[in-house]
Copies of this chain bind each other. A is one copy, B any other.
């Protein structure tokens, strides 16, 4: 008996209707990667700490991103009913499993910025 491809219902993001396509979409987001990297590097963090670490993020986008990540089980949210309220966020194990990839992505952008800039300049100059 041969192990055919029908054994396991596999996900494939190349297929339009595959749920993993949508997951790839939600995960391919600037704010998602920044939040995951921030939490991965800094550990447990308050909302306000994240807000200042990820400069320029609006409160709306930060909240929205955190909600999504919490729903997907990538981060955990813990409320301490002090006054004023204190809310801490932390990567779950699932979130941690994506951390390295996201760190690579962020690092790649920082490491190849100059090269990309040069390429853009050359491209634009060529068809100016």
Q: Within the assembled complex, what's the spacing in Å between the Cα atoms of A53 and B13?
A: 10
A27: interface (CB < 8 Å): yes
Report how far A119 CA is from B70 CA in the complex, Å: 9
A30 interfacial contact with B, CB 8 Å: yes
A60 touches B (CB below 8 Å) = no
CA distance A39 to B33 in the complex (A): 23
Q: Are A30 and B34 in touch, CB under 8 angstroms?
A: no
- The yes or no answer to A28 lying at the interface (CB within 8 A) is yes
Q: Within the oligomer, what is the number of copies of this chain?
A: 2
Residues on B with C-beta less than 8 A from A10 are 110
Report the interface size for chain A: residues with CB under 8 A from the other chain.
Answer: 52
CB distance from A125 to the nearest CB of B (A): 11
A26 to B77, CA, bound (A): 29
Q: Is A101 an interface residue (CB 8 A)?
A: yes
Q: How far is the CB of A108 from chain B (nearest CB, A)?
A: 6
A 92-104 binary contact with B (CB < 8 Å = 1; else 0)? 0010011001001
CB of B106 within 8 A of CB of A104, answer no
Taken together as a complex, chains A and B put the C-alpha atoms of A115 and B118 apart, in Å, by 41
Could you give, for residues 69-98 of chain A, a 1 whenever the CB lies within 8 Å of some chain B CB and a 0 otherwise? 011110000000000000000000010011
